[in-house]
Each structure stands twice: as structure tokens, then as C-alpha cells.
């Protein structure tokens, strides 16, 4: 850190904090135009940086370096927490060979090609042989890095599941774990070369000793993290303590570096990233604190990434952007070719299916936090050319971040492991419901829905049941759960499906309805609590009988009138969800709706989010409004909204 007094530092940090908050808000706009959030954060950082608006001055490179250190420690924690060995065992052979293929091929091919093209780069052409060698080796390592967070986000978005998905996730996580170790070793040799030291046996011994000490400190850090997680204290305090533990490793790194350089004439360099990722890995795999650790890592991620990527954009050497576009494209092409070759060789050695080998490179294009973090470490370690190098790497990462996710989604679709929800069909003017399972509760539910002008079918597997025994109800028989049978039931025309079978049968139906029919509301009667998350991931409405009665009685005790009203037990009163389908209502303020005097609007659900309403809130097509009132008025109101 440069010489700066406390007051100036506070002003600098406060100013950056304001920019970071604005960056978080502005970056959301980039997501709306289908660009990655990281692109928006980097853009705002560049805009606020010293080359454009000057809101973040040049001094930020050094004086705000502690923010990068905290973020880098967190990134290492996040990478280590993703490497959970029990989840990798079923595809370990493929994971092992594809990881090895990509690491070896990418590192060797990228290092060689980068070294030979550096002489043609205008701002790097004057570098010495040793400096070009350092850049080539570090580029080879950074090219290997992937983005576990991006991979997990895409997998969750398309609900991908299968051997290809498991392999991709395992390779992604394992690569980032190994790349940090490789980077630590490569940096040690790079610093020695940069300082003009020949690579001798003694130098190799020192590097190995640095690795051993780093491993030992990683184990010690895991004990500290586990102790923090076991303490009975405020959750927010634990989050802060974990960040402090990570930052303390960087303080130790600087302290050891300065002390050994001053008193021994040679700096001893422990590796903070390596220490943090090892500590996280041990906590994740060998302690009982795994779940709480993962929860904390997830919770504190957003502010860390916002600060990190915004600062990364601010410290980029924008003055060389005009000169780097061609080298950026070349770096991107080199990395892409290396990934394609490495993935194919690894897949062949693993004996994976031909389709997997053909498209196996697509999931590994995306880069984000780890690659950018390593580039910034290089920039701060080698300031004479490092920030120009970081600018090239960052530009390449932005390209990878834009092109990578669509390629990954395409690959998942090609192997048949993408489970994107089908489009919800348009309302046909008739409210249809299908109830799976014939029993007293389903019969009662069907009669109640019919009393509210719904068309209802009850579906059963029991072929011996006589529909004539249920006058006024439509009973359908099917022999198995299949897309063809659901199409025969006209599931695509239904506004609601109620599942009252076993959990396994309900889950199979929910999956099929989610992927092929897109029914708006799927209601599940849960039999076993441990299946809750499976149904929740499908966006179903879950009724758990064991707790539903308790919750109902609780509401009757605390608010009997409201409970009776919402359950339709008040004479002549009912509640109803109405979807805004009438285009004439789009943009109309609630105060102008002219609701019947006996109708009250309770809430509006918009794009999955409940919003706080007032008289000036304007309706939008697709809004779900919940109203309470007399049955006669609600029937009239539903015609108005459906129109």
C-alpha cells in the first residue's frame, strides 16, 4: 500500500463503496439484455476508473488492494468448497482423464503458442526472453481455469442431470483446484526468473519447502475455520470472521515476504490461494461443518463478487485497449483449440461415448472469478507489464463469459440432459384441472372445484373402478405414466394439476409435466418430508399433511376471521387467484380498477415475486392477483380479467 493517511483511505474506500453499490444495480441491466453480470460489473468499473470518469483514481491499484485480497481468499474458499469427493466417485474415471487431458494439453500448447506470438504484440515486443517465458507459462496456467459458479448456475437453470453433467461439474471443480496449485508453483519459478536467479537445485528445494509450508498452513486454516463454524454466535459475525481468516492469510504472506527479504536476503513466499483452497477443501470433506460453510460461502458471494469485479474493471489498463483486440482474439482462439484437443483426448482415454467426445469441449469455455483473480495477482506482482497482461486476460474472459454459457446449454441439450420448463399454454377460456389419484380427498376436491366452475378429471391406475360409481365426475384410466397418456388427458390445456399418488409417482409426473407441458400450477400432496426439495426444485406447490393441519389451527387461533375467509368458510365469501389476461387492463392503476364494493385485493404476484401494492401500482399482463369477496362478485370479476 502506498503512503496514504487514514482519512484519505477512508474517503477512497467510501467512494469505492458507493461506486460498487451503483455497479450492482447497473449490472442487472446487462442481465436483462442477456449479457453476463460480470460484464456489467467490469463495464461500470471501467467507466468509474481513472481513464474515463475518474471516480476511482489510479491509487486504487495499490491502496484498495486489500479488497482484492479478501475477494481472492473468498474465491479460493468457494473453489475448495465445490470439490466434494463423494459427489465425484460415480464418474471419477472420466473426470480424471478429461481433467488430465485438458490440463496437460492446454498448458503445453498455450504456453508454446503464446511465447511465439508475443514478439508480434506492440506493447510486449520489447520484453526480454525471460519476461516472455514468464508470460507464456502464466498464460498456460490461467487458460486452464474455469468457472464453477457459472457451471453450477447453468446446470441449475436448465435443471440438468445425468452422467455428462456430473462429469462436467467434477472436471470444472477439480481443474480450478489443480490450477491454483499449478499457479502457486509457476509463480514461484516466475519470480525467481524475473529476479535473475538461475533455476538450481537449491531454488527447487526452496519452492518445494514453500509448498510444504503452504500445505501445513492450509491444514491449520481448516482447523480455524471449523472452530469458527462451531461457535455459537450470530451468523453475520461468523461470516465476517471467515472473511477475516482468509484476509489474515494474505497479511501473513506479506509479513513473511518482507521479513525474510529483509533479514535473509531472499523472500520466502507462502501461497495464500493454495492455503485458502486447501483449508476450504478440508472443511468441506472432513468436518461436520460442511453445510453451514457452504451456506455462508453462498450468502456472502454477491457483495464480494460485486466489489472484486468492479475494482478489476477500474484497474484495467484501458490505454492499451486499442492495441489488444487482436491479441485478445488470438489468446481466445489458442485457449479454445487447446480445450477442444484436451477434452477430446481425455474423453477418448476415459472411453466416453463418441457424442461426449465430440462436444466435450463446449462446457469448459466459460471463465470468471478464478481466472481474473490470477490475472490480477500477476498484475500486482509484475507491475512493469502485469496490468497490460491483465487487461488482455480480462478481455478474453469477457468473451469466454459471453460465449461459454450458450455453448454449455447447447451441449446439455445435445446429450439430452437439459430439463428446461416447457412454455405455459395460453388460457383457452375454460379452467381445467386434473387430479391424479382416486380417493375420498380427491373426490371431495373435485366436487368443490366443480362448484366453482372448473372442469375436473380424476385419473387413476385402477382399471377395475367403475366411473358410474362417481356420478357427476369425470374418471379417466391410464396404465402408466407417459407423455402419450398425459397428452390423451389434454394436460396441455390444464391450468392446474393435483398429484395425490406416492412420492415416486408424483415426482415422475411432476418432472414430465414440467418438461413437456408447462402447466402453470402443479400441486403435490407430500408423503415424506425428505422429498420436499425435489418437488420444490420443480416449482410445485407443496402441501405437507403433517404440518398443514397444525398451521391451519395456528391461523384459526391467531386470526380466526381471516382464516375462515381465506378458506371460503364464511357464508357467501371466497378467495380467488386471477391472472391478468385482458390486454385492456395492462398498465391500469389499481385505484382505477373499480372493484365491486365487497371485493378486496390482497396481493399481486409478478414474475414469481410478491410485490407491495398501492393505489398507483399498475397491472401488467400475466400478473396474478389474489382477491377476497362474495362468490357472485368474484365470478363477475374473473370474466373481466380473462377477457
Per-residue pLDDT tens over the stretch 178-194: 887 888 788 877 877 77
Average pLDDT over residues 253-260: 86
Q: What is the pLDDT of residue 502?
A: 86
* 6-414 has CATH 2.40.50.180 classification: no
Closest CA to 360 of 341, 334, 335: 341
Mean pLDDT, the chain, whole residue set: 79
Q: Write down the pTM of the prediction.
A: 0.61
Helix axes 201-230, 272-286, angle to 10 degrees: 50
Domain boundaries, the chain: 6-414, 432-543, 570-642
Q: What is the pLDDT of residue 260?
A: 85
Specify the CATH number of the domain 432-543. Answer: 3.40.50.720
For residue 418, give the 3-state DSSP assignment. coil
Q: How far apart are CA 456 and CA 448, in angstroms?
A: 10
Could you tell me the pLDDT band of residue 224, with boundaries at 50, 70 and 90? Answer: very high
pLDDT in tens, 445-499: 888 888 777 888 888 888 888 877 788 888 888 888 888 888 888 888 888 888 8
Q: How far apart are CA 182 and CA 144, in angstroms?
A: 10
For residue 301, give the 3-state DSSP assignment. helix
Number of H helices, E strands in the chain: 24, 10
Q: Long-range contacts: 510-513, Cβ < 8 Å, 24+?
A: 510/535, 510/538, 510/540, 511/419, 511/538, 512/481, 512/482, 512/483, 512/486, 513/486
Pairing relationship of beta strands 474-477 and 455-460 according to DSSP bridges? parallel
Residue length of the chain:
643
Average pLDDT over residues 422-443: 79
Specify the CATH number of the domain 570-642. Answer: 3.30.70.1450
Using CB atoms within 10 Å of the CB of residue 274, give its burial: 0 to 12 exposed, 13 to 18 middle, 19+ buried. buried
pLDDT in tens, 99-139: 888 888 888 888 888 888 877 766 666 777 777 888 888 88
How many C-beta neighbours within 10 Å does residue 615 have? 9
Computed on alpha carbons and rounded to an integer, the radius of gyration of the chain in Å comes to 30
Could you tell me the pLDDT band of residue 233, with boundaries at 50, 70 and 90? Answer: confident
Amino acid at each position: 500500500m502506498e503512503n496514504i493517511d487514514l482519512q484519505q483511505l477512508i474517503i477512497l474506500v467510501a467512494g469505492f463503496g458507493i461506486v460498487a453499490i451503483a455497479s450492482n444495480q447497473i449490472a442487472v441491466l446487462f442481465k436483462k439484455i442477456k449479457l453476463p453480470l460480470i460484464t456489467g460489473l467490469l463495464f461500470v468499473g471501467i467507466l468509474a476508473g481513472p481513464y474515463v470518469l475518474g471516480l476511482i483514481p489510479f491509487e486504487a491499484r495499490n491502496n484498495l488492494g486489500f479488497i482484492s485480497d479478501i475477494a481472492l481468499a473468498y474465491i479460493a474458499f468457494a473453489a475448495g468448497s465445490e470439490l466434494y469427493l463423494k459427489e465425484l466417485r460415480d464418474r471419477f474415471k472420466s473426470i480424471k482423464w478429461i481433467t488430465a487431458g485438458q490440463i496437460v494439453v492446454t498448458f503445453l500448447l498455450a504456453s508454446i503458442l503464446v511465447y511465439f506470438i508475443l514478439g508480434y504484440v506492440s506493447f510486449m515486443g520489447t520484453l526480454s526472453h525471460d519476461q516472455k517465458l514468464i508470460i507464456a507459462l502464466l498464460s498456460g496456467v490461467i487458460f486452464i481455469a474455469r468457472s464453477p459458479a457459472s457451471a453450477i448456475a447453468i446446470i441449475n437453470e436448465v435443471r440438468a442431470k445425468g452422467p455428462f453433467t456430473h462429469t462436467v461439474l467434477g472436471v470444472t471443480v477439480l481443474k480450478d483446484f489443480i490450477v491454483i496449485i499449478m499457479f502457486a508453483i509457476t509463480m514461484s519459478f516466475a519470480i525467481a526468473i524475473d529476479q535473475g536467479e538461475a533455476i538450481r537445485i537449491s531454488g527447487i528445494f526452496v519452492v518445494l519447502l514453500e509448498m510444504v509450508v503452504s500445505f501445513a498452513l492450509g491444514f491449520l486454516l481448516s482447523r480455524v475455520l471449523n472452530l469458527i463454524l462451531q461457535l455459537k454466535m450470530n451468523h453475520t459475525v461468523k461470516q465476517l470472521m471467515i472473511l477475516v481468516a482468509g484476509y489474515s492469510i494474505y497479511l501473513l504472506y506479506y509479513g513473511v515476504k518482507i521479513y525474510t527479504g529483509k533479514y535473509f536476503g531472499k523472500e520466502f513466499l507462502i501461497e495464500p490461494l493454495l492455503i485458502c483452497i486447501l483449508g476450504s477443501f478440508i472443511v468441506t470433506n472432513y468436518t461436520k461443518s460442511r453445510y453451514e460453510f457452504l451456506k455462508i460461502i453462498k450468502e456472502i458471494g454477491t457483495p464480494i463478487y460485486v466489489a472484486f469485479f468492479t475494482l478489476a474493471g477500474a484497474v484495467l489498463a484501458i490505454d492499451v485497449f486499442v492495441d489488444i483486440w487482436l491479441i485478445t482474439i488470438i489468446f481466445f482462439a489458442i485457449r479454445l483449440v487447446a480445450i477442444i484437443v484436451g477434452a477430446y483426448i481425455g474423453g477418448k482415454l476415459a472411453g466416453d461415448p463418441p457424442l461426449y467426445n465430440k462436444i466435450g469441449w463446449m462446457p469448459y469455455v466459460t471463465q470468471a472469478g478464478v481466472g481474473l483473480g490470477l490475472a490480477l495477482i500477476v498484475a500486482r506482482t509484475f507491475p512493469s507489464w502485469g496490468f497490460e497482461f491483465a487487461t488482455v486476460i480480462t478481455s478474453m474472459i469477457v468473451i469466454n463469459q459471453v460465449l461459454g454459457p450458450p455453448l454449455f446449454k447447447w451441449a446439455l441439450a445435445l446429450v439430452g440432459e437439459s430439463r428446461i420448463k416447457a412454455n405455459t399454454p395460453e388460457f383457452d377460456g375454460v379452467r381445467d384441472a386434473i387430479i391424479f389419484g382416486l380417493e375420498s380427498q380427491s373426490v371431495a376436491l373435485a366436487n368443490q372445484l366443480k362448484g366453482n366452475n372448473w372442469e375436473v378429471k380424476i385419473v387413476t391406475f385402477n382399471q377395475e373402478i367403475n366411473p358410474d360409481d362417481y356420478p357427476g365426475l369425470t374418471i379417466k384410466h391410464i396404465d402408466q405414466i407417459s407423455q402419450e397418456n398425459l397428452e390423451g388427458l389434454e394436460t396441455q390445456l390444464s391450468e392446474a394439476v393435483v398429484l395425490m399418488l406416492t412420492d415416486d409417482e408424483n415426482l415422475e409426473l411432476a418432472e414430465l409435466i414440467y418438461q413437456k407441458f408447462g402447466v402453470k400450477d402443479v400441486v403435490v400432496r407430500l408423503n415424506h418430508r425428505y422429498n420436499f426439495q425435489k418437488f420444490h426444485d420443480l416449482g410445485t406447490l407443496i402441501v405437507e399433511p403433517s404440518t398443514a393441519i397444525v398451521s391451519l389451527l395456528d391461523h384459526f387461533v391467531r386470526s380466526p376471521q381471516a382464516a375462515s375467509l381465506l378458506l371460503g368458510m364464511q357464508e357467501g365469501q371466497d378467495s380467488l387467484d386471477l391472472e391478468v389476461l385482458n390486454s385492456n387492463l395492462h398498465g391500469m392503476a389499481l385505484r382505477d380498477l373499480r372493484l365491486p364494493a365487497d371485493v378486496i385485493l390482497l396481493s399481486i404476484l409478478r414474475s414469481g415475486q410478491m410485490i407491495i401494492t398501492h393505489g398507483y401500482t399498475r397491472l401488467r399482463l400475466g400478473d396474478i392477483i389474489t382477491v377476497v369477496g362474495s362468490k357472485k362478485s368474484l365470478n363477475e370479476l374473473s370474466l373481466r380479467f380473462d377477457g
